[in-house]
């Protein structure tokens, strides 16, 4: 554990900040304590889940959106609470043109942009036209909360075809297992800002992926998020590439 003057430090280059995670979900803890309004302290880009798993967060260009369980999109209320979130300052130095691409082949397309492909840790944003994109969402949960396995059984699946959209998210290497799930974690938002959700698969017709490599990782404990503006936060920190 390490004490950091987390509020006075305004610059977190190449840093992913994670609030809560899969262990909390495994314990049926879906309560949120991090407010949407606090995200701007740490970055302009990210994703997550709302309190009680009530929809998906899509956060980019400093704007936060709430994709509800029916796949519809609305601006996120600044006072809404998040049960889990991943966020950073997006700083893309590299982009790759994409054409006729399934999600399962995305890693192969981007890995050559990194000097150590086996250690890729990056935020990414895809702008493009999608022949198909498949999403999932779950309805808001009520207490006493069910196990996450039961929640997943209630998920709704949506397919959108022939849409111009943005996909945002992160790629986590395998050694992140236990803190989060390795691989891609992606959320989707249509350019008309009407629909969004958690990405399961896509067929991209044509587009471009922008990569923002990450070097540092900070884990924000939920207990400290309630008073984010008043006190320092205790963080469990690990650093990559030192």
**Cβ density class 151-168: b for 16+ within 10 Å, e for less:** beeeeeebebeebebbbb
Q: Which stretches of the chain are DSSP H helices?
A: 22-26, 106-110, 148-153
The reported pLDDT for the residue numbered 117 is: 65
68 alpha-carbon distance from chain centroid? 15
Determine contact, residues 207/128, Cβ cutoff 8 Å: yes
Q: Mean pLDDT in the chain? A: 86
- Best CA proximity match to 181, nearest among 102, 84, 66, 113: 84
Q: How confident is the model at residue 181 (pLDDT cuts 50, 70, 90)?
A: confident
158 alpha-carbon distance from chain centroid? 19
Distance CA 107, CA 98 (A): 12
The reported pLDDT for the residue numbered 228 is: 46
The answer to which of 5-14, 87-96, 153-162 has the lowest mean pLDDT is 5-14
Query: What is the SS3 assignment for 36?
Result: helix
| Cα radius of gyration (the chain) | 17
Mean pLDDT for the stretch of residues 169-197? 92
Angle at 199 between CA 30 and CA 171, to 5 degrees: 85
Handedness of CA 158, 124, 171, 30 (dihedral sign): negative
Q: How confident is the model at residue 230 (pLDDT cuts 50, 70, 90)?
A: very low
120 alpha-carbon distance from chain centroid? 16
- Domains of the chain from N-terminus onward: 12-90+216-239 (3.30.1330.80), 94-149+157-213 (3.30.1330.80)
Tens-digit pLDDT profile for residues 38-88: 888 889 999 999 999 999 999 999 999 999 999 999 999 999 999 999 999
pTM (2 decimals)? 0.86
The answer to which of 1-10, 101-110, 165-174 has the lowest mean pLDDT is 1-10
Q: What percent of the chain has pLDDT over 70?
A: 86
Distance CA 109, CA 103 (A): 10
Determine contact, residues 46/87, Cβ cutoff 8 Å: yes
């Amino acid at each position: 554990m390490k004490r950091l003057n987390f509020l006075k430090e305004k610059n977190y280059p190449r840093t992913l900040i994670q609030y809560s995670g899969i262990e909390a979900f495994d314990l049926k803890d879906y309560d949120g304590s991090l407010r949407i309004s606090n995200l701007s302290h740490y970055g302009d880009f990210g994703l997550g889940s709302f309190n009680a798993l009530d929809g998906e967060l899509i956060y980019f260009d400093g704007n936060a959106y709430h994709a509800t369980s029916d796949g519809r999109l609305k601006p996120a209320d600044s006072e809404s609470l998040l049960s889990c979130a991943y966020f950073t300052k997006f700083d893309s130095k590299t982009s790759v043109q994409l054409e006729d691409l399934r999600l399962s082949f995305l890693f192969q397309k981007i890995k050559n942009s990194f000097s150590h492909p086996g250690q890729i840790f990056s935020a990414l944003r895809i702008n493009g036209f999608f022949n198909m994109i498949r999403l999932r969402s779950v309805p808001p949960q009520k207490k006493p909360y069910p196990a996450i396995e039961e929640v997943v059984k209630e998920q709704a699946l949506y397919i959108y075809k022939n849409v111009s959209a943005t996909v945002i998210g992160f790629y986590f290497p395998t050694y992140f297992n236990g803190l989060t799930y390795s691989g891609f974690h992606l959320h989707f938002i249509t350019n008309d800002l009407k629909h969004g959700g958690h990405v399961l698969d896509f067929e991209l017709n044509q587009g471009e992926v922008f990569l923002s490599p990450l070097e540092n990782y900070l884990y924000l404990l939920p207990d400290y998020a309630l008073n984010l503006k008043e006190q320092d936060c205790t963080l469990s920190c690990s650093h990559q590439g030192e």
